[in-house]
Structure 1
């Protein structure tokens, strides 16, 4: 990776930065699963490569786990000291407060035109793009072939009933996590959306109105509570306490029969010799309403006032070779057409082709809603209670719906 970044040091963003002796601060999320492949190493290499061609600019990158990074940026912004750039999970609340630069104020035309159209549109608030796509993924069901064979399971599940029956068979053979259900605070909003889609609904309806407490969603979480969690099929850690990273590590350790995962899990499981398969996420009666897609965002704050330098650095970040280096390091999907075209044609990226094919039709979070950051935070905090021993799925979904509706009303009234 270092050599790839080094080669592009002078290929992207070589224009004048308009000033000298500027330090750009970037807060970014960690996509690694250990210190050895922490995103801090990726960003440090990229920053040094950029600085070698731009002696007047320093780039200081602080990387935090997904559990902490959104909160860290919010604390900095609330204190009136936002970073120059943040690479996090939501942008619209900052854009609505007029804290962000528009994408076309920062990026060169070729770079801006290279983003996948669906992702660029998702980065818009009131038809203006503030969120710059950074990394994308879709989800599939991963299953441990060795554990399936031990339990006498001959095919991967296609429906919820199949999944529950397979989980029962795995439990009978002593599998620690027959189905890992990570509804802990790290990424509960993702696991939740996968289940809502597989139940025929989602966070919003077709016109973008929040429908978190729809009858379909209540049925989905009631089924999870009664048929998986209540029957002891989700493992020793309560779903509300189980984070995605923990679930992935357990899968890589051979302790999980099934879980929903994104491409990064392939590398993690393969490193530890797990023989795994991947199939579409099962739906209530078969194929889900839609595949879930996730896109993470880059954004730039106005407050530090380094527009020219930020734009020049971001042009470099989104150089084709740098996008490919990041995507290949973490088994994620590139957000640019040029890098996607390379990966679709390269045999070395063959394992990602199923995910690349799904992305154009995947359903994303309602990123363009200024309320989404608050709603997402509440889902992370509260959704695990819905499937707990004394949990009431309908009550929890009603509470989340009230939060979402209040946030929308406050926005429309501002």
Structure 2
């Protein structure tokens, strides 16, 4: 949509303990898990979901306790990386990338952990994306695609009749919104939280991407440079992206501004629907615009569950993950956070149930969406570099070619070190 996005508490354990997944000393195994936050406020933090789920699991599985530390998407991947480097890997992590840990032989395979029924239920494309050298280590947990969201009231105020279908129309509409006094005509969140997602959406709509058809990094391709030249010159340089520099604007801050009625347009994923509705924002959705019409592909995001070997507990991790992927739990999470499910059974149920009709446009985009190159062990490093630097490409005086070339060099170096 991908990016896939968290209580300091449980992982800040003392050095005297045996490790993140240490036994409690009373015959009870305590699994430590780090997970990303899909909520937009403390009131609906994913911590509450995991607290409820683990309580149900522990009732059915005496002898296994699960402690979940939920972190924001802006820090969760780095937090897990720090724990691993310190020799304190969690038993389970639900984060944005798995391949580098799999390449280091730190992860159990899906075969090690999951029942055959659970494995078979994953959507095939997502299962394949979770493979390294044809072995699945990354278990998809949540997926989403992206659509263009627009504020209908602000559009009417600016005299705009419908969603733009091309970049030219998008820039023209953003100009009308600015002239009508809209704070953020087009919100462009290239801050650290989810810069890789916003970046890939624009690269795809410009005919490029992070890689070519055979998986070679192409960040500094001609198409990608043209895309960011256009963003710098036609949107940011024209003052159409609002008062916060794109490189400083995080995705959740942009969503919050949309929900306050301050944003005319932005690229969004399903969770924005409920957030906007809660604030009585009347919005519309449309496919992402491309250079000369609808973009040929949109971003698809899958976030990943993985089990670390460091503390053992293969059997206990497997029991818990089988529980996590039970149909009712997958649907409950998808419904609570407006996320697309990763299993065939839950996807079919959602497509057939009228209560989920608001997600159908996103479901329809999923087959033609493109995911991050998550099967590359270098992707975590490349993603971190994009988060750090891509905003500079559209800043005043920024040089997209230079920034993308630097990112390309980092990507090639990271891949050669695999």
Q: Bin the TM-score by the shorter chain.
A: over 0.9
Give the alignment partner of residue 160 of structure 1, picking from 136, 153, 167: 167
Partner of 2:182: 175
Partner of 1:394: 401
Give the alignment partner of residue 69 of structure 2, picking from 39, 62, 73: 62
Task: Structure 2 unaligned segments of length 5 or more: list them.
Answer: 1-25
Q: d(CA) in 2 for partners of 1:155 and 1:287?
A: 14
Q: d(CA) in 2 for partners of 1:357 and 1:232?
A: 34
Q: d(CA) in 2 for partners of 1:291 and 1:344?
A: 20
Q: d(CA) in 2 for partners of 1:360 and 1:39?
A: 27
The alpha-carbon deviation at position 289 of structure 1 amounts to 2.8
Matched, 1:265 2:261: no
Q: d(CA) in 2 for partners of 1:295 and 1:363?
A: 10
Q: d(CA) in 2 for partners of 1:280 and 1:128?
A: 34
Q: Secondary structure at the match of 1:217?
A: helix
Partner of 2:7: none
Is the contact between residue 201 and residue 289 of structure 1 (CA under 8 Å) also seen in structure 2?
no
Task: Structure 1 unaligned segments of length 5 or more: list them.
Answer: 1-18
Matched, 1:373 2:384: no
Q: d(CA) in 1 for partners of 2:367 and 2:149?
A: 21
Is the contact between residue 137 and residue 295 of structure 1 (CA under 8 Å) also seen in structure 2?
yes
Q: Secondary structure at the match of 2:414?
A: helix
Q: Secondary structure at the match of 2:227?
A: helix
Is the contact between residue 87 and residue 299 of structure 1 (CA under 8 Å) also seen in structure 2?
yes
Partner of 1:26: 33
The alpha-carbon deviation at position 49 of structure 1 amounts to 0.3
Partner of 2:121: 114
4+ aligned runs moved over 3 Å, structure 1? none
Matches within 5 A, 1:11-410: 20-410=27-417
Q: d(CA) in 1 for partners of 2:398 and 2:252?
A: 24
Deviation track 1:161-203 (CA, whole Å, cap 9, x = no partner) reads: 0000000000001100000000000000000000000000100
Deviation track 1:284-311 (CA, whole Å, cap 9, x = no partner) reads: 1112131210000000000010000000
Is the contact between residue 199 and residue 289 of structure 1 (CA under 8 Å) also seen in structure 2?
no
Q: Secondary structure at the match of 1:135?
A: strand
Q: d(CA) in 2 for partners of 1:186 and 1:178?
A: 21
The alpha-carbon deviation at position 20 of structure 1 amounts to 4.3
Q: Which moved more, 1:205-214 or 1:19-28?
A: 19-28
TM score, norm. by length of structure 2: 0.93
Q: Which moved more, 1:123-132 or 1:287-296?
A: 287-296
Q: d(CA) in 2 for partners of 1:260 and 1:374?
A: 24
Deviation track 1:74-130 (CA, whole Å, cap 9, x = no partner) reads: 000000110000000000000000000000110000000000000000000111100
Partner of 1:13: none
Q: Which moved more, 1:19-28 or 1:64-73?
A: 19-28
TM score, norm. by length of structure 1: 0.94
Q: d(CA) in 2 for partners of 1:136 and 1:218?
A: 28
Q: Secondary structure at the match of 1:157?
A: coil
Is the contact between residue 102 and residue 130 of structure 1 (CA under 8 Å) also seen in structure 2?
yes
Q: d(CA) in 1 for partners of 2:291 and 2:168?
A: 8
Q: d(CA) in 2 for partners of 1:358 and 1:125?
A: 26
RMSD across aligned positions (CA): 0.8
Q: d(CA) in 1 for partners of 2:78 and 2:381?
A: 11
